[in-house]
Amino acid sequence: AQRVTQPEKLLSVFKGAPVELKCNYSYSGSPELFWYVQYSRQRLQLLLRHISRESIKGFTADLNKGETSFHLKKPFAQEEDSAMYYCALSGSGYALNFGKGTSLLVTP
Amino acid sequence: ETGVTQSPTHLIKTRGQQVTLRCSSQSGHNTVSWYQQALGQGPQFIFQYYREEENGRGNFPPRFSGLQFPNYSSELNVNALELDDSALYLCASSSPQVPTEAFFGQGTRLTVV
C-alpha cells in the first residue's frame, strides 16, 4: 500500500530562518516523489520532483530510500514562501497519492 | 497556452441528486485525472482518463463516473450524492511525455445539503 505522511500540520518560521518540511512515505517499489505547493488563492502547482534534482525557488528535496523520506528544505525562508505544501507519491505512473499537507507560515 | 479550467467554480446540491463537473485540459495534454479534496485533507485520486478510456481508478464507489471527449476535455459525474461528497474537486491534466507531472485546475467546490 502507498502512504504519504506529513507529520506537521503547521510550521511557523521567521524570515531568514532555515525551513524543513517533512515527508515520509511507504511504498514497496521505486516511487516517484513530488512536492506540490498552493499559494493563497492560487491553484495547486508542482514545485519539484525528485528525479529532476532541481532547486526551485531555493527549495531542494532529497529522496532518502533508507529512511523513506523526501523532506523539503530551504536555507533561508522568505515571506512569499508562506503556502500550503503537499508531498505526493506516484507508484503506478499515473495516480498521485498526496499527504495531508503542511501549512508553512513565514513571519517577518 | 491555456491552463486547466473547471466549471462551475461552486455549486450546491441536495442529497440524492446527481452532479456533473467539467474540465478542459491544458493544450497538448491528453490525460486527465480527477481528485477529491475534503477539508483539511490532501487531494485523493478518483480516476484518470487517457484517450477517452479510464486508465486507473482510486478507492471510490461506482457512483463516481467520468468521461473524456475527443478534444480531451472531461466530465466527472456523481450520482446519489451524499453529504460526505462535499469537497473541492480538482481536475489535473498531463502530457504523454511526462504523465506524472500534473497541472491542476482551480477546482469546483461542491456542497451537498
Selecting from A44, A49, A94 the residue whose C-beta is nearest the C-beta of B56 gives A94
Q: Do A98 and B42 touch (CB under 8 A)?
A: yes
The reported pLDDT for the residue numbered B6 is 97
Selecting from B35, B41, B106 the residue whose C-beta is nearest the C-beta of A43 gives B106
> Which residues of chain A carry a pLDDT beneath 70?
93
Length of chain A, in residues: 108
The reported pLDDT for the residue numbered A50 is 84
Interchain CB contact of A8 with B (< 8 Å): no
What does the block give as the cell for A23?
Answer: 515527508
Q: Is the pLDDT of residue B16 over 80?
A: yes
Q: Do B40 and A100 touch (CB under 8 A)?
A: yes
- Cβ-Cβ contacts under 8 Å, B43 against chain A: 44, 86, 96, 98
Residue written as cell 478542459? B24
Give the torsion sign (CA, B65, B69, B75, B79). negative
The reported pLDDT for the residue numbered A30 is 83
- How far is it, in rounded angstroms, from Cα B36 to Cα A43? 14
The reported pLDDT for the residue numbered A28 is 84
Who contacts B92 (Cβ-Cβ below 8 Å, separation ≥6)? A96, B4, B32, B33, B34, B35, B102, B103, B104, B105
Query: Of residues B97 and B14, which shows the higher confidence score?
Result: B14
Q: What number is the average pLDDT over the span B20-44?
A: 94
Residue written as cell 505544501? A85
Q: Is the pLDDT of residue B1 over 70?
A: no
CB contacts < 8 A (A, B): 57
Interchain CB contact of A45 with B (< 8 Å): yes
Interchain CB contact of A86 with B (< 8 Å): yes
The reported pLDDT for the residue numbered A91 is 83
**Structure confidence by residue, pLDDT tens digits, B48-99:** 999 899 989 999 999 999 999 999 999 999 999 999 999 999 999 998 778 7
End-to-end Cα spacing for chain A: 41
Answer for the pair A104, A9: CB distance below 8 angstroms, yes or no: no
